Amino acid sequence: METLVEAAGIECIGLPASDEAAAASFSGGKISKRYLDGSVIYEMNIRIMVRSPDQLFAADRISGICGLLTGCAPENFKGTDKWRILSVSIVSAPSLEKTDERGVCLFSCELSARCFLDCRN
């Protein structure tokens, strides 16, 4: 997940730390394919959140993050010989989740990162 956070310029992992902040958090995953050599294809779900008192800014920021990550070629993501990101797709499109009593908007979306993991010793 750190690779995606770094590629998108997201400020933190967890919850947005302040207004005008973006954050990413792990929201589940599953093994979608197992190979005889012990390697797997793992689908990791990531929730992206953007908070801002400026609704247009937040909408543009989260849409930009989604566009950047889903449009990025796999070779542009960092990886190792033990793991690499194969693709990123949108599970749920960016949308306004809530606006608090101060008028700060929270937008969120869900992405799925398809990863190759070499689990051999």
- pLDDT tens string for the chain (121 positions)? 788 888 888 888 888 877 778 999 999 999 999 999 989 999 999 999 999 999 999 999 999 999 999 998 888 888 888 999 999 999 999 999 999 899 999 999 999 999 999 987 6
Query: Residues 6 or more apart from 18 whose CB is under 8 A from it?
Result: 51
Token pair of 103 as six digits: 């008028």
Three-state secondary-structure class, residue 22: strand
Give the per-residue pLDDT at 8.
86
- Backbone phi and psi for residue 66, each to the nearest 5 degrees, phi listed first: -60, -45
The residue type found at 66 is C
**pTM (2 d.p.):** 0.87
The fold adopted by the segment(s) 2-117 is STM4215-like (3.30.2000)
Query: Residues 6 or more apart from 36 whose CB is under 8 A from it?
Result: none
The residue type found at 55 is Q
Spatial distance between the Cα atoms of 54 and 3, rounded to a whole number of angstroms: 28
- Backbone phi and psi for residue 8, each to the nearest 5 degrees, phi listed first: -95, -5
